[in-house]
C-alpha cells in the first residue's frame, strides 16, 4: 500500500496559519481545549529535556475513522474529542517540529507480535529531536495495519548536565576528604 503524500501536512481548517495572518478562534469543545493544553505541555517537556519521547499519532489502515493518541488523564472525556480536530492539532505539532527534509533510510524489524515494522526517522528544526514514523504490517499478508508517529529526543543535554554536576560534586567531596586526611 502506498504512503499518503499528506502524512505530515498540517491542518489549518482554512485559516491563515502565518505568524501575522488573521485568525478566528478554533471551534474546540471543552475537552479539546484541555487536550490542546496537555499536548502543548508534553511538547514543552520534550523540547526542554524533561521528556525523551512524545507519542503523537496512530492511524489504523482498516479504519479511517479511528486514531490513537497519547495517553490522557481521566479528566478528559475521550468520547467528546472529535477525530478531525484532535488529528489536526497533532498534525500541527508534527509540522512545527519537522524541517521539511525527506526521511532517513528506513529500517525493517520484527516486533514481539511477529509484525513487520518499517521505521523511518525524520530530522526536525531541533537538532536533538527526531520524528519517528513506524509502519506496522501483517507479516503473512504484508498488509499495512497501522502507522505511528512520535518525537524522540536523541541526546538529552539537560540530563547530561545534571550527571556532570553530580560527578563534579562527588569529585569535590573526594578532594575535600583527601585534603582533610592527607593535609595537602
What would the pLDDT profile of 58-87 be if each residue is shown by its tens digit? 999 999 999 999 999 999 999 999 999 999
Residue 115 shares a structural domain with residue 55: yes
b/e map 150-173, b = 16+ CB within 10 Å: bbbbeeeeeeeeeeeeeeeeeeee
The closest alpha carbon to 152, from 35, 43, 41, belongs to 43
Domain presence at residue 109: yes
Domain presence at residue 70: yes
Domain presence at residue 39: yes
Residue 90 shares a structural domain with residue 73: yes
Asked whether the predicted pLDDT for residue 126 surpasses 60, the reply is yes
Instruction: Return the pLDDT at 1.
Output: 34
In which domain, by residue range, is 95 found?
Answer: 30-153
Residue 164 shares a structural domain with residue 143: no
Look up the pTM and report it.
0.75
Give the mean model confidence (pLDDT) for residues 38-50: 95
Residue 87 shares a structural domain with residue 143: yes
Q: Percent of the chain scored above 90 by pLDDT?
A: 67
Residue 52 sits at the vertex; the CA angle it makes with 98 and 163, to the nearest 5 degrees, is 130
Phi-psi region of 133 (alpha: psi -120 to 50; beta: other; left: phi over 0): beta
Domain presence at residue 23: no
Residue 130 neighbours by CB under 8 Å, 6+ apart = 121, 122, 123, 124, 151, 152, 154
Instruction: Return the pLDDT at 183.
Output: 64
Domain presence at residue 9: no
How far is the CA of 166 from the CAs of 94, 147, 170, in angstroms?
Answer: 35, 41, 6
pLDDT tens digits along 26-36: 899 999 999 99
Q: Percent of the chain scored above 70 by pLDDT?
A: 78
By mean pLDDT, which of 15-24, 124-133, 145-154 is the weakest? 15-24
Instruction: Return the pLDDT at 24.
Output: 86
Instruction: Return the pLDDT at 15.
Output: 65
Amino acid at each position: 500500500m502506498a504512503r499518503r503524500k499528506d502524512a505530515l501536512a498540517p491542518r489549518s481548517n482554512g485559516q491563515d496559519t502565518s505568524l501575522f495572518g488573521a485568525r478566528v478562534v478554533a471551534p474546540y469543545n471543552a475537552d479539546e481545549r484541555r487536550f490542546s493544553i496537555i499536548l502543548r505541555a508534553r511538547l514543552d517537556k520534550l523540547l526542554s529535556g524533561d521528556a525523551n519521547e512524545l507519542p503523537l499519532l496512530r492511524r489504523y489502515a482498516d479504519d479511517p475513522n479511528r486514531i490513537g493518541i497519547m495517553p490522557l488523564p481521566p479528566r478528559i472525556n475521550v468520547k467528546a474529542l472529535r477525530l478531525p480536530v484532535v488529528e489536526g492539532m497533532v498534525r500541527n505539532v508534527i509540522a512545527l517540529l519537522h524541517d521539511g527534509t525527506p526521511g532517513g533510510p528506513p529500517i525493517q524489524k520484527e516486533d514481539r507480535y511477529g509484525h513487520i515494522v518499517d521505521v523511518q526517522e525524520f530530522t526536525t528544526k531541533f537538532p536533538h529531536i527526531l520524528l519517528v514514523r513506524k509502519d506496522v504490517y501483517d507479516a503473512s499478508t504484508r498488509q499495512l495495519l497501522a502507522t505511528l508517529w512520535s518525537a524522540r529526543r536523541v541526546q538529552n543535554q539537560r540530563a547530561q548536565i545534571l550527571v556532570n554536576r553530580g560527578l563534579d560534586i562527588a569529585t569535590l567531596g573526594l578532594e575535600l576528604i583527601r585534603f582533610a586526611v592527607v593535609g595537602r
